[in-house]
Every structure is written in structure tokens, then in C-alpha cells.
Structure 1
Amino acid sequence: MFKGFKEFLLRGNVVDLAVAVVIGAAFNAVVQKVVDSLINPIIGMVFKADSLDKALMVGLPNGGAIEFGALIGAVINFLIVAAVVYFVFVLPMNKLREASTKIAGEAEREPEVETEQELLSEIRDLLRAQAQAAPAAAALPAPAAATPDATPGTETPGAHRH
């Protein structure tokens, strides 16, 4: 039982997930600051309100209220956060990744790998060429060998000096 739990904890996916959660929390803080410090003041200036939470409230008979303004504010906030994440983080990272992939692709082009069928065809063709060249080589006369006891200056009949 503990062995399986240990394997689960030490599996790479769990560690990657834990790192993603921690980075996500830090990332959320950055995005929230961008939204709170930059985007929300601009929205408040346009709508002339601090927040939409108290706008468009519909009272209920038992004293409760439906807060359409809060719902609209949450949807707008979500869209703003999504836009900030996309335009500030995702889009630049994709451009950077494309540029680095393009540079890496130009620097390291992998040589074309021949398939097994192509290699076997080449071997067959080479063997066929060797087999056809073997009978032609057998028909050629063998080169004359020099005698080891020949002294310089004396030539054997029929030999030519170069």
C-alpha cells in the first residue's frame, strides 16, 4: 500500500503538477496586479463607478437581491484577465517559441534518414554491380610480377622501364 503511494508521489507528473500549482499561484498574483492596477481603473473611469457590484440590483420579496451588476462585473473581470494573460504572456511566448524553433531548425537540420527498403535496394544494386564486374575482372590478364633477384640496370626481356 505504501509502495504504491511512494511511486505515485515520486512519479514525474505529480512533481510537475506541484510546480505548476506554485507557479500558477505566483502567476495569478502578477495577473491580478495588472488587472487591479491598470485595467480596472480604466473600466471605472469609463463606467464612472468604483465597481459594478451594487449596480443593477433587483430586490426579492423576502429581502434578498439578485445582483446582475456583480455577475456582469465577474464576466468582465474574467474577460480582462483572459485578455491580459493572452496578450501579455501567451502571445509573446508563442512568438519567442516560434523564433527559437526557427533558429534551431536552421541550425540543426537533421540528415535525411533512408528507409530500410531504400537501404536494401542500394545493397542489392551494389551486389549486382559487383557480380557483373567479377566476370570482366577475371578476363583481364594478371599483371606481371617483378623478379626479386633482378639487379638495377638489368631488365628482363619484354619489361619496360618508366
Structure 2
Amino acid sequence: MIKGFKEFILRGNVIDLAVAVVIGAAFTAVVNAVVAAIIEPLIALVWKPDENGEVGITVNGLWGPVTFPISDLINAIIAFLAVAIVVYFVFVHPMNVWKERQARKAGADTDEEEPLPTEQELLAQIRDLLSNQAPAGNQPPTTRT
């Protein structure tokens, strides 16, 4: 059980995943700071904040005005897209390129597989094998259709 756990931990994928999580968390903090310092003020230029400081669309409800905090949604979308773009271009794409190079070096090109033989080719191979195994005087007649 411990041996299996040790093999699991020492796999390259687990180490890569741990690094990606740590760097992703650190980068998320940077993105959130940029969104709070730049994007939120830009949104506040378009929408007037309510008395609670929420920026968004205000609608008069039954018990007073209600603000839909659209800035929070926009901030979350921008933060998600920024993190996803960086993770893709910093981790995923380089790893895919590296794996392709390794596969080319190993000579294992997965795109070009050898085509399977047709039914007629298989039957011809079986016929040839049977004719080679039969004694010289007992050869079956060959007929072509």
C-alpha cells in the first residue's frame, strides 16, 4: 500500500499538478488585485455605486431599492479568464509541445498508424499459410473469383 502511494506521488503528473496549483493560487491573487485596482474603478465610471458601495444595476423592489452587483460577476469572469489563459499558455501548451517532441524523438508518431489489412488480404495470407503447411501431394486447388 505504501509502495503504491510512493509510486503515485513520484509520478511526474502529480508533481506538475502540485506546481500548477501553487502557481495558480499565487497568480489568482495577482489577478484579483489587478481586477480590484483597475477593472472595478472602470466599472464604477459607468455605474454609480449604491449606498453600500455596490456597483451594478439598481431596481426598486417592494421594500426599497435592490442592487444587482454586476461588478462582482464581471470581476469573477475576468479573473477566471485571466487565470485560464495563463495556465494554458504557461503550463498546458508547453507541456503538449514537449510531449510531442518526446514522441517524435522516440519515433512513436501516433498520427500515422499502419492501416489494417483488408478481408481479401487476410484470406490470401491464410490460404498461403495453409498451402505451405500441406504436404506436397495434397495441395488444395486454388480458385480465384
Q: TM-score, normalised by structure 2?
A: 0.47
Kindly indicate whether structure 1 or structure 2 has the higher relative contact order, using CA contacts under 8 Å at least 6 residues apart: 2
Structure of greater Rg = 1
